[in-house]
Chains A and B, each alone.
Chain A
Amino acid sequence: MTGERIQGNIFDIKRYAIHDGNGIRVTVFMRGCPLDCWWCHNPEGIRPRQAGQPGQSGQTTPHTSKAGQRSISVNELIQEVEKDLIFIDESGGGVTFSGGEPLMQPDFLINALEAFGKRYVHRTLDTSGFADTEVFASVLEHVDQVLFDLKLINEEEHAKYTGVSNDLILKNLRILDQSEKDVILRLPVIPGITDVESNIRAIGELVSTLENIDTLELLSYHATARAKYERLGVEFRMGDIVPVSERDLVSIKYTMESMGIKVIGGPE
């Protein structure tokens, strides 16, 4: 069975994940990311970078022995995730693939998604959307829900802060819109970068042109990743930027809502 052969490269499996989709979930953090976002809160999941290369089929990532980071077969993954099946069933939860960028390992991902589908486990994909459109479309067939990041609409800005153009991402967003999947767009609210008025407006305008997708979640920026960067010996480019205030979040929410978007998360 392919489930035995294909290995996925992950850096963590988090149980009782309650912010990555419906119900109580198990989130699988896939290793490797083509983006290089300044604010990334999982820097341990970025490498291998394959900088600027979108997820392509046949792609694999090298094995590693670092604690928490490991390669895993689909069957092993099923065993791990289904330890919490009783809570998944009870809460209407499921499995979430996050990262890193899960679309960097499409063969493993599709295999795993297919297997979970056969086992009636609800599947959520948490993605930057940065992948070949073919890969994106074929993964999409096997997921129930997509959490899709929208960071910056201006292409130059996007390239500056994430290391890649948003061209593919926006193309994939259109495909996603036609898929009629359950979709939540996610905006990481990064002070001075993504929360500027022009970007908020641009996101609003873009979303209002979509046919099916209408929900956006605001994710507040936290400086909690700083310690991780120090541990990894990687430069933390965010400096002393403090999280957006509750008031600013409310105002973003208000702007978005006035443009017909359903906003979740953000201000408590």
Chain B
Amino acid sequence: MNSRIQKLREDSISAVPEVSAERAALVTEYYKSVEGQDIPIPIKRASAFKHIMMNKELCILKGELIVGERGPSPKATPTYPEICIHSLDDLQVLDTRLKIPYKVSSDVKDIYQREIIPFWEGRSQRELIFKNMKEDWLAAYEAGVFTEFMEQRPPGHTALDDKIYKKGFLDFQKDIQASIGNIDENHPEARGKKDELEAMRISLDALIGFAERHAERLEEMARVEPDADRKKEIEEMVRVCRRVPANSPESFWEAIQYYWFVHIGIITEVNPWDAFNPGRLDQHLYPFYKQEIEAGTLTEERAKELLQALWIKFNNHPAPPKVGVTSKESSTYTDFALINLGGLKEDGSDAVNDLSYLILDVIGEMRLVQPSSMIQLSKKNPDRFIKHAIQIVRSGFGQPSVFNTDAIVQELMLQGKRLEDARTGGASGCVESGAFGKEAYILTGYFNIPKVLEIALHNGHDPRTGNKVGVETGDPSKFESFDQLYEAFEKQMKYFIDIKIIGNNIIDQLYARYLPVPFLSTMIDDCISEGKDYHDGGARYNTSYIQGVGLGSITDSLVSIKHNVFDRKTATMTEFQKALAEDFDGSPELHHAIMENTPKYGNDDDRADDIMKRVFNTYYGLIDGRPNSRGGQHRINLLPTTVHIYFGSVIGALPDGRKAGQPLSEGVSPVQGADRNGPTSVLRSAGKIDHIRTGGTLLNQKFTPQLLADDAGRNKLAHLIRGYFKMDGHHIQFNVVTAEALRKAQQEPEKHRDLIVRVAGYSDYFVDLAPELQEEIINRTEHQDL
């Protein structure tokens, strides 16, 4: 990378995340100014958005090529008081907590105390949600049976298709006008549609205005710029900011700047989950790249520089500050924009192009935690594509991860999507399959499957509090067969999943009614043509996910009871229950039998894997296809982010030998250290999951660098991945770092600030991780050659 990029990159890495009160102040100012006025909610939201975009401070850094910051400076992170109002205590916690802190200045605290808290207290979406949840929901939430994604952040969870590369905002406004013209006055929702569409129009104006403000500022800068080359460059930036987003882009540079303006818009309008995502970046940018390279108006070097400038922009934008359970389930600065490379074209042919490789090189050179990156690997993609990706994986910062395009297409088709929408889709966030630009695929919360077993083992009670949180399914010591136990577990599962889904549907409606997102809606089909908001079922496809957590832990726990109590009769159920209550302190023999002589998921042992399939079918059967309030369905996926730590902390000892409070297994990976037959056995076990019925699964593998030291080793890893994908595996990611290196980093964090590891669907700085998570990553089996 050249010196300009190097400088911007270093500044981005060293910038300290802080809370900026700018957005909170502007949104408050707007809402105060219209208090008492009868303005339709969507229009109010759009106008507030416009007020922010037209008045927020601009930030254009020295040497920048791509402009636009959400806050007044890199990593100055706004808050969204209309959604989640931070108390002074919250701000104190954010400022001082050990992991993932955000600096909070006394000025910010001051304005919060004077202006923001007094205005928003009692009005925020978060308060509204908790007020609307019933007792059984609150009891389950507090027991840690599930989490709730929407309590601090709106749904989000989507990615963009190619629409912005074909149309400017002025074109979208014409579409909006046409849609307004098409409204039948007799339609019962005619008024609502008109308001929503008008709101969309305003929100597009907001971004055009924001770009124009940049153009004006850049013009001023050009006038005083002493360096002739830079002056020319700034003049070009003025032209770019006047061209996009108002008009469709014509150059590579314009295309990138256009996306970035849209990104800033989406993450300023609200704080949506997973920020926003350009999706299939190599596909979208390739036509511009090819045309300009052929015309001689762009060099490979310049293209790379512009992409690097975009990468730095992503890195400048940490996730908005999270508190409470939400900060535990997603304890990271990463905001999950996941760049997709490769895969298939709309016509089903191999999509890998020159830009796919160029972007892989950018990923390898930039070594930033944001954006996340992945390759889509189809059986139609050439081997050199996966080999090139493995070269970068080998450098050991956990990127890119590898996804199975052919599985994703099948998953989306099974959910009823059109073939072309499936092929132009991919995975976003952690590992979630989606039809890019056309789907609201919302993660609603993690579901703690092993906790439900614990509750079943206590006849509906949570042993941590003694409270009855579930239903009475019988005293387990009276169970005469494993099936009886399983039935009790299944009943508890049904009970809690019903509660979760009822809650989801209420929360969906609260967002549809009180917190529309007109700007995001302009970017997702068919919100404009339907005149409906993204939060209100305006997207072509509307999916709600409940993310199952702890598949390895629940499998091994059930297998352990079956094997030791009912098959081998190593212990009675009463002895087992006593051992669990005592955290195995008084029963070392039983603990040994469980750890050493009990089948475990991850070893290609059907005695364990058959139970895994049974649990999968239970979870799938209870959720898949159940309607949500946006006209779509509930689906399942299996991923953890960092919630397996929190979920583990609310569970006592488990029958799989795990001690109280320890992390659960993550994603579809085996329990940490339970797999002892090497990577092919892990993949074979995970391959027995019916991945096609999910909207994404996450599998972690750790390799020592020596295994990938030579071509032969890397080729074999490529074969290993292809083999897993033949079994329809959805996703696999690698940590290529030695346990020894991680231990060193733990002891001397200050010397290892740059050590990036793969956590879940993202990479993070190792030293930023909570100690339990650090331990857990060290404990994930490190495959090495003997």
User: Which A residues form the contact surface with B (CB < 8 A)?
Assistant: 14-16, 18-19, 23-24, 83-84, 86-87, 89-91, 93, 224, 268
Contacts and interface: CB of A to CB of B under 8 A. Distances in A.
B709 interface: yes
A86 B727 CA distance: 8
A79 to B, nearest CB: 11
A16 B720 contact: yes
B677 interface: yes
B680 A18 contact: no
A90 B680 contact: no
B509 interface: no
Nearest to A93: B719
Contacts of B719: 23-24, 87, 90-91, 93
Contacts of B783: 16
B417 to A, nearest CB: 28
A24 B684 contact: no
A89 B722 CA distance: 10
A73 B715 CA distance: 33
B347 interface: no
A187 B679 CA distance: 28
Nearest to A19: B785
Nearest to A41: B786
15 contacts: A16-B678, A24-B716, A24-B720, A83-B680, A83-B681, A83-B684, A86-B687, A86-B723, A86-B727, A87-B720, A87-B723, A90-B719, A90-B722, A93-B719, A268-B710
B680 to A, nearest CB: 5
A91 B718 CA distance: 9
A223 to B, nearest CB: 14
Given A86-B727, A91-B719, A16 B680 contact: yes
A86 B723 CA distance: 6
B345 interface: no
Given A24-B680, A84-B684, A14 B716 contact: no
B380 interface: no
B786 A87 contact: no
Contact of A14 (B678, B707, B726): B678
Contacts of B680: 15-16, 24, 83-84, 87
B716 A23 contact: yes
A15 B716 CA distance: 13
A15 B785 contact: no
Contacts of A83: 604, 680-681, 684
B228 interface: no
A23 B707 CA distance: 14
A24 B722 CA distance: 12
Interface in B679-710: 679-681, 683-684, 687, 707, 709-710
A19 B727 CA distance: 24
A86 B724 CA distance: 8
A24 B680 CA distance: 9
A39 B730 CA distance: 44
B727 A91 contact: no
A23 B722 CA distance: 13
Contacts of B709: 268
Nearest to A80: B604
Contacts of A18: 707, 712-713, 716, 785
B161 to A, nearest CB: 32
Contacts of B710: 268
Interface string B750-786: 0000000000000000000000000000000001011
A23 B720 CA distance: 10
A24 B785 CA distance: 12
Given A24-B720, A268-B709, A90 B726 contact: yes
A68 to B, nearest CB: 11
A84 B147 CA distance: 38
Contacts of B604: 83
Given A18-B713, A86-B726, 9 more contacts: A15-B681, A18-B785, A83-B684, A86-B684, A87-B720, A90-B720, A90-B723, A91-B720, A93-B719
